[in-house]
Amino acid sequence: MITCPICQSGNTRELIQWKEFTINKCCDCKVIFSYPEPTNDELEKFYQGFMFRKPEDYEIRKHLKKRKKELQELFVISETTEGSSSKKFLDYGGGTGMAYKAMSDFGLDSYYHDLDKQAKKFSQEKFGLTMEKVIEDVTKCNIKFDYILSDNVIEHVKNPHEFIGNLIKHLNSGGRIVIKTPHASNTELLLNPVISIKRYFLPALKYNSLRKSIRAYLLRFWCCDPPRHLYSFSKKSFDHVMKLNNEDGIRYTVSYYEVPWFENTITKQFFTKDKKLKGFHSVGVRILIFPIIPLELILQGIRKLLLKLKILSPGGLILTIEKNT
Protein backbone atom coordinates (compact mmCIF):
# COMPACT_ATOMS: atom_id res chain seq x y z
CA MET A 1 0.00 0.00 0.00
CA ILE A 2 1.36 3.43 -0.99
CA THR A 3 1.26 6.11 1.71
CA CYS A 4 -0.56 9.31 0.81
CA PRO A 5 2.02 12.12 0.39
CA ILE A 6 -0.48 14.73 1.63
CA CYS A 7 -2.07 13.30 4.79
CA GLN A 8 0.26 10.30 5.32
CA SER A 9 -2.67 7.88 5.36
CA GLY A 10 -2.14 4.31 4.25
CA ASN A 11 -5.74 4.13 3.09
CA THR A 12 -5.03 4.55 -0.63
CA ARG A 13 -6.02 2.69 -3.77
CA GLU A 14 -4.51 2.40 -7.22
CA LEU A 15 -6.77 3.75 -9.94
CA ILE A 16 -4.80 3.18 -13.11
CA GLN A 17 -1.43 2.67 -14.75
CA TRP A 18 -0.11 5.70 -16.67
CA LYS A 19 3.13 5.22 -18.58
CA GLU A 20 5.72 4.21 -15.97
CA PHE A 21 3.60 5.65 -13.14
CA THR A 22 0.55 4.58 -11.19
CA ILE A 23 -2.24 7.03 -10.41
CA ASN A 24 -3.62 6.59 -6.91
CA LYS A 25 -6.33 8.10 -4.72
CA CYS A 26 -6.28 8.68 -0.98
CA CYS A 27 -9.58 7.52 0.49
CA ASP A 28 -9.14 9.88 3.45
CA CYS A 29 -8.09 13.30 2.07
CA LYS A 30 -9.34 12.53 -1.49
CA VAL A 31 -6.17 13.72 -3.23
CA ILE A 32 -5.22 11.96 -6.46
CA PHE A 33 -1.47 11.46 -6.84
CA SER A 34 1.12 9.76 -9.00
CA TYR A 35 3.80 7.29 -7.97
CA PRO A 36 6.78 7.27 -8.16
CA GLU A 37 7.94 10.87 -8.43
CA PRO A 38 9.84 11.93 -11.55
CA THR A 39 13.32 13.35 -10.99
CA ASN A 40 13.95 17.12 -10.95
CA ASP A 41 15.94 16.83 -14.18
CA GLU A 42 13.08 14.97 -15.88
CA LEU A 43 10.62 17.67 -14.84
CA GLU A 44 12.79 20.57 -15.96
CA LYS A 45 13.33 18.92 -19.34
CA PHE A 46 9.61 18.17 -19.68
CA TYR A 47 8.62 21.79 -19.09
CA GLN A 48 10.79 23.30 -21.79
CA GLY A 49 8.27 24.47 -24.39
CA PHE A 50 5.52 22.97 -22.23
CA MET A 51 2.23 23.54 -24.07
CA PHE A 52 3.73 26.80 -25.35
CA ARG A 53 1.83 28.43 -28.18
CA LYS A 54 2.86 31.95 -29.00
CA PRO A 55 -0.31 34.07 -28.77
CA GLU A 56 -1.24 36.48 -31.54
CA ASP A 57 -1.57 40.20 -30.78
CA TYR A 58 -5.38 40.07 -30.85
CA GLU A 59 -5.28 37.17 -28.36
CA ILE A 60 -2.93 39.07 -26.05
CA ARG A 61 -5.29 42.05 -25.90
CA LYS A 62 -8.26 39.81 -25.11
CA HIS A 63 -6.44 37.69 -22.52
CA LEU A 64 -4.85 40.72 -20.86
CA LYS A 65 -8.21 42.42 -20.39
CA LYS A 66 -9.68 39.25 -18.92
CA ARG A 67 -6.64 38.73 -16.69
CA LYS A 68 -6.82 42.25 -15.27
CA LYS A 69 -10.44 41.79 -14.26
CA GLU A 70 -9.68 38.44 -12.65
CA LEU A 71 -6.70 39.75 -10.68
CA GLN A 72 -8.68 42.71 -9.38
CA GLU A 73 -11.22 40.26 -7.97
CA LEU A 74 -8.74 37.70 -6.61
CA PHE A 75 -6.51 40.26 -4.86
CA VAL A 76 -9.18 42.89 -4.10
CA ILE A 77 -7.23 45.51 -6.01
CA SER A 78 -8.86 48.93 -5.75
CA GLU A 79 -8.11 52.32 -7.24
CA THR A 80 -6.03 53.14 -4.15
CA THR A 81 -3.94 50.00 -4.68
CA GLU A 82 -3.33 50.71 -8.37
CA GLY A 83 -0.34 52.91 -8.93
CA SER A 84 1.27 51.83 -5.66
CA SER A 85 4.79 50.89 -6.74
CA SER A 86 5.62 49.99 -3.13
CA LYS A 87 3.42 46.89 -3.44
CA LYS A 88 5.25 43.85 -4.77
CA PHE A 89 3.69 41.08 -6.87
CA LEU A 90 5.07 37.67 -7.85
CA ASP A 91 3.60 35.60 -10.68
CA TYR A 92 4.89 32.15 -9.75
CA GLY A 93 4.58 30.02 -12.86
CA GLY A 94 3.98 33.04 -15.06
CA GLY A 95 3.85 31.35 -18.47
CA THR A 96 3.43 33.94 -21.20
CA GLY A 97 3.53 36.76 -18.64
CA MET A 98 -0.09 37.96 -18.80
CA ALA A 99 -0.43 38.35 -15.02
CA TYR A 100 3.00 39.98 -14.78
CA LYS A 101 2.00 42.49 -17.45
CA ALA A 102 -1.44 43.10 -15.91
CA MET A 103 -0.04 43.86 -12.45
CA SER A 104 2.72 46.00 -13.95
CA ASP A 105 0.01 48.00 -15.75
CA PHE A 106 -1.69 48.49 -12.38
CA GLY A 107 1.54 50.14 -11.22
CA LEU A 108 2.74 47.34 -8.92
CA ASP A 109 6.38 46.28 -8.64
CA SER A 110 5.98 42.93 -10.43
CA TYR A 111 8.19 39.83 -10.59
CA TYR A 112 8.06 36.63 -12.62
CA HIS A 113 9.05 32.95 -12.29
CA ASP A 114 8.75 30.08 -14.76
CA LEU A 115 10.80 27.03 -15.72
CA ASP A 116 9.91 27.30 -19.41
CA LYS A 117 12.67 29.22 -21.20
CA GLN A 118 10.47 29.82 -24.27
CA ALA A 119 7.73 31.39 -22.16
CA LYS A 120 10.28 33.51 -20.30
CA LYS A 121 11.80 34.72 -23.58
CA PHE A 122 8.35 35.62 -24.92
CA SER A 123 7.58 37.64 -21.76
CA GLN A 124 10.89 39.47 -22.12
CA GLU A 125 10.29 40.32 -25.78
CA LYS A 126 6.59 41.17 -25.54
CA PHE A 127 6.21 42.69 -22.10
CA GLY A 128 9.66 44.09 -21.35
CA LEU A 129 10.42 41.59 -18.59
CA THR A 130 13.97 42.23 -17.36
CA MET A 131 16.27 39.72 -15.66
CA GLU A 132 16.18 41.72 -12.42
CA LYS A 133 12.44 40.96 -12.27
CA VAL A 134 12.92 37.22 -12.85
CA ILE A 135 12.97 35.00 -9.75
CA GLU A 136 14.88 31.86 -10.71
CA ASP A 137 14.66 30.19 -7.28
CA VAL A 138 12.21 31.54 -4.72
CA THR A 139 14.02 29.73 -1.88
CA LYS A 140 17.08 31.89 -2.54
CA CYS A 141 15.11 35.10 -2.92
CA ASN A 142 15.31 37.78 -0.21
CA ILE A 143 12.27 39.72 -1.45
CA LYS A 144 8.90 39.56 0.30
CA PHE A 145 5.73 40.11 -1.69
CA ASP A 146 2.32 41.60 -1.01
CA TYR A 147 0.59 39.53 -3.68
CA ILE A 148 1.57 36.08 -4.99
CA LEU A 149 -0.28 34.29 -7.77
CA SER A 150 0.31 30.62 -8.56
CA ASP A 151 -2.08 29.66 -11.34
CA ASN A 152 -2.18 25.92 -12.08
CA VAL A 153 1.31 25.22 -10.74
CA ILE A 154 0.93 23.29 -7.48
CA GLU A 155 -0.34 20.18 -9.29
CA HIS A 156 3.02 20.02 -11.09
CA VAL A 157 5.32 20.15 -8.03
CA LYS A 158 6.76 17.18 -6.16
CA ASN A 159 6.25 18.53 -2.63
CA PRO A 160 3.08 20.65 -2.21
CA HIS A 161 3.72 21.15 1.54
CA GLU A 162 7.14 22.65 0.89
CA PHE A 163 5.82 24.63 -2.10
CA ILE A 164 3.17 26.42 -0.05
CA GLY A 165 5.54 26.87 2.90
CA ASN A 166 8.09 28.65 0.69
CA LEU A 167 5.44 31.01 -0.68
CA ILE A 168 4.20 31.84 2.83
CA LYS A 169 7.77 32.65 3.93
CA HIS A 170 7.95 35.24 1.14
CA LEU A 171 4.62 36.90 1.95
CA ASN A 172 4.50 40.29 3.64
CA SER A 173 2.19 40.93 6.59
CA GLY A 174 -1.20 41.89 5.21
CA GLY A 175 -0.39 40.04 1.98
CA ARG A 176 -2.32 37.45 0.02
CA ILE A 177 -1.44 34.28 -1.91
CA VAL A 178 -3.84 32.88 -4.51
CA ILE A 179 -3.31 29.32 -5.71
CA LYS A 180 -5.50 27.97 -8.51
CA THR A 181 -5.56 24.28 -9.44
CA PRO A 182 -7.86 21.62 -10.94
CA HIS A 183 -10.42 20.10 -8.56
CA ALA A 184 -9.96 16.37 -7.96
CA SER A 185 -12.74 14.04 -9.12
CA ASN A 186 -14.96 16.94 -10.14
CA THR A 187 -18.08 16.08 -12.14
CA GLU A 188 -18.04 19.17 -14.36
CA LEU A 189 -15.62 17.55 -16.82
CA LEU A 190 -18.13 14.78 -17.53
CA LEU A 191 -19.83 17.30 -19.81
CA ASN A 192 -16.53 18.34 -21.41
CA PRO A 193 -15.77 15.12 -23.31
CA VAL A 194 -12.85 16.63 -25.25
CA ILE A 195 -11.01 16.87 -21.91
CA SER A 196 -12.29 13.86 -20.01
CA ILE A 197 -12.38 11.34 -22.87
CA LYS A 198 -9.75 12.53 -25.33
CA ARG A 199 -7.14 13.67 -22.81
CA TYR A 200 -7.61 11.00 -20.13
CA PHE A 201 -9.76 7.99 -21.04
CA LEU A 202 -8.34 7.23 -24.50
CA PRO A 203 -4.67 7.56 -23.42
CA ALA A 204 -5.41 5.30 -20.43
CA LEU A 205 -6.34 2.51 -22.84
CA LYS A 206 -2.70 2.36 -23.96
CA TYR A 207 -1.61 1.06 -20.56
CA ASN A 208 -4.72 -0.61 -19.10
CA SER A 209 -7.54 -2.95 -19.96
CA LEU A 210 -10.85 -1.53 -21.16
CA ARG A 211 -12.51 -2.55 -17.89
CA LYS A 212 -9.88 -0.85 -15.73
CA SER A 213 -9.92 2.29 -17.90
CA ILE A 214 -13.71 2.56 -17.62
CA ARG A 215 -13.56 2.06 -13.85
CA ALA A 216 -10.89 4.76 -13.46
CA TYR A 217 -12.91 7.09 -15.70
CA LEU A 218 -16.02 6.61 -13.56
CA LEU A 219 -13.87 7.34 -10.49
CA ARG A 220 -12.80 10.54 -12.29
CA PHE A 221 -9.02 10.22 -12.17
CA TRP A 222 -8.56 13.19 -14.53
CA CYS A 223 -6.29 16.14 -13.87
CA CYS A 224 -3.52 13.74 -12.82
CA ASP A 225 -1.41 12.62 -15.79
CA PRO A 226 2.27 12.33 -14.84
CA PRO A 227 4.77 13.73 -15.53
CA ARG A 228 2.50 16.64 -16.53
CA HIS A 229 0.26 16.72 -13.45
CA LEU A 230 1.51 14.91 -10.35
CA TYR A 231 -1.49 15.76 -8.16
CA SER A 232 -5.15 16.60 -8.28
CA PHE A 233 -6.38 18.27 -5.08
CA SER A 234 -9.61 18.34 -3.10
CA LYS A 235 -10.69 20.84 -0.43
CA LYS A 236 -9.95 18.21 2.21
CA SER A 237 -6.42 17.66 0.91
CA PHE A 238 -5.77 21.42 1.03
CA ASP A 239 -6.91 21.38 4.67
CA HIS A 240 -4.17 18.84 5.40
CA VAL A 241 -1.55 20.86 3.51
CA MET A 242 -2.42 23.96 5.50
CA LYS A 243 -2.27 22.11 8.84
CA LEU A 244 1.45 21.61 8.24
CA ASN A 245 1.78 25.31 7.41
CA ASN A 246 -0.27 26.51 10.36
CA GLU A 247 1.69 29.59 11.41
CA ASP A 248 0.44 32.36 13.69
CA GLY A 249 -1.44 34.99 11.72
CA ILE A 250 -2.10 32.72 8.74
CA ARG A 251 -5.65 32.11 7.59
CA TYR A 252 -6.98 30.48 4.46
CA THR A 253 -10.13 29.76 2.51
CA VAL A 254 -10.90 27.28 -0.26
CA SER A 255 -13.35 28.21 -2.99
CA TYR A 256 -14.21 26.89 -6.44
CA TYR A 257 -14.18 28.11 -10.02
CA GLU A 258 -15.83 26.73 -13.13
CA VAL A 259 -14.20 25.76 -16.39
CA PRO A 260 -14.73 28.70 -18.79
CA TRP A 261 -17.39 28.49 -21.51
CA PHE A 262 -16.27 26.25 -24.39
CA GLU A 263 -12.83 25.67 -22.87
CA ASN A 264 -11.10 22.74 -24.61
CA THR A 265 -14.03 22.14 -26.94
CA ILE A 266 -14.15 21.44 -30.65
CA THR A 267 -16.42 24.48 -31.01
CA LYS A 268 -13.69 26.76 -29.67
CA GLN A 269 -11.16 25.20 -32.03
CA PHE A 270 -13.59 25.77 -34.91
CA PHE A 271 -13.73 29.51 -34.27
CA THR A 272 -10.03 29.90 -33.39
CA LYS A 273 -7.36 30.56 -35.97
CA ASP A 274 -5.14 27.51 -36.37
CA LYS A 275 -1.73 28.41 -37.73
CA LYS A 276 -1.02 24.74 -38.49
CA LEU A 277 -3.96 24.52 -40.87
CA LYS A 278 -4.06 26.66 -43.98
CA GLY A 279 -6.19 26.93 -47.09
CA PHE A 280 -7.95 23.73 -48.13
CA HIS A 281 -6.92 21.82 -45.01
CA SER A 282 -8.36 24.50 -42.74
CA VAL A 283 -11.67 24.53 -44.62
CA GLY A 284 -11.81 20.74 -44.81
CA VAL A 285 -11.27 20.23 -41.09
CA ARG A 286 -13.93 22.80 -40.24
CA ILE A 287 -16.44 21.11 -42.54
CA LEU A 288 -15.80 17.80 -40.82
CA ILE A 289 -16.18 19.09 -37.26
CA PHE A 290 -19.10 21.47 -37.92
CA PRO A 291 -21.81 18.82 -37.15
CA ILE A 292 -20.37 18.40 -33.64
CA ILE A 293 -20.95 22.05 -32.72
CA PRO A 294 -24.73 21.78 -32.01
CA LEU A 295 -24.10 18.85 -29.65
CA GLU A 296 -21.44 20.81 -27.78
CA LEU A 297 -23.75 23.82 -27.53
CA ILE A 298 -26.33 21.61 -25.83
CA LEU A 299 -23.74 20.07 -23.50
CA GLN A 300 -22.37 23.49 -22.52
CA GLY A 301 -25.87 24.73 -21.72
CA ILE A 302 -26.63 21.63 -19.62
CA ARG A 303 -23.27 21.96 -17.84
CA LYS A 304 -23.90 25.57 -16.83
CA LEU A 305 -27.43 24.79 -15.66
CA LEU A 306 -26.33 21.82 -13.52
CA LEU A 307 -23.49 23.88 -12.04
CA LYS A 308 -25.93 26.63 -11.11
CA LEU A 309 -28.18 24.04 -9.46
CA LYS A 310 -25.10 22.65 -7.64
CA ILE A 311 -25.67 19.21 -9.13
CA LEU A 312 -22.21 19.21 -10.73
CA SER A 313 -19.03 20.04 -8.82
CA PRO A 314 -16.84 22.79 -10.38
CA GLY A 315 -13.63 21.93 -12.19
CA GLY A 316 -11.25 24.19 -10.25
CA LEU A 317 -10.14 25.06 -6.72
CA ILE A 318 -8.83 28.37 -5.37
CA LEU A 319 -6.75 28.33 -2.19
CA THR A 320 -6.47 31.85 -0.77
CA ILE A 321 -3.91 32.41 2.00
CA GLU A 322 -3.64 35.65 3.97
CA LYS A 323 -1.08 36.80 6.53
CA ASN A 324 -2.50 39.12 9.17
CA THR A 325 -0.73 42.37 10.01
Mean pLDDT across the chain: 90
**Residue 321: is its pLDDT beyond 90?**
yes
Q: How confident is the model at residue 51 (pLDDT cuts 50, 70, 90)?
A: low
**Cα(147)–Cα(177) distance, integer angstroms:** 6
Between 49 and 258, the higher pLDDT residue = 258
3-17 pLDDT, tens digit per residue, is 999 999 999 999 999
Q: What integer is the mean pLDDT of 67-93? A: 85
Listed residue (317, 304, 2) closest to 185, CA to CA: 317
pLDDT digits (tens, 9 = 90+) for 199-249: 999 999 999 999 999 999 999 998 999 999 999 999 999 999 999 888 888
Q: State the burial class of residue 280 (Cβ atoms within 10 Å of its Cβ: 0-12, 13-18, 19+).
A: exposed
Kindly report the pTM of this predicted structure.
0.91
The conformation of residue 198, written as its DSSP 8-state character, comes to I
Q: What is the tens place of the pLDDT at every residue in 86-100?
A: 899 999 999 999 999
Category of 92 on φ-ψ map: left (φ > 0), alpha (ψ -120 to 50) or beta? beta
What pLDDT was estimated at residue 81?
63
Cα separation, 304 vs 29, whole angstroms: 28
For 109-162, write each residue's pLDDT tens digit.
Answer: 999 999 888 899 999 999 999 999 999 999 999 999 999 999 999 999 999 999
What local confidence, expressed as pLDDT, does residue 100 receive?
97
Break the chain into its structural domains and give their ranges: 266-308
Share of the chain above pLDDT 70, in %: 92
pLDDT computed for residue 273 by the predictor: 64
163-212 pLDDT per residue, tens: 999 999 999 999 999 999 999 999 999 998 888 998 999 999 999 999 99
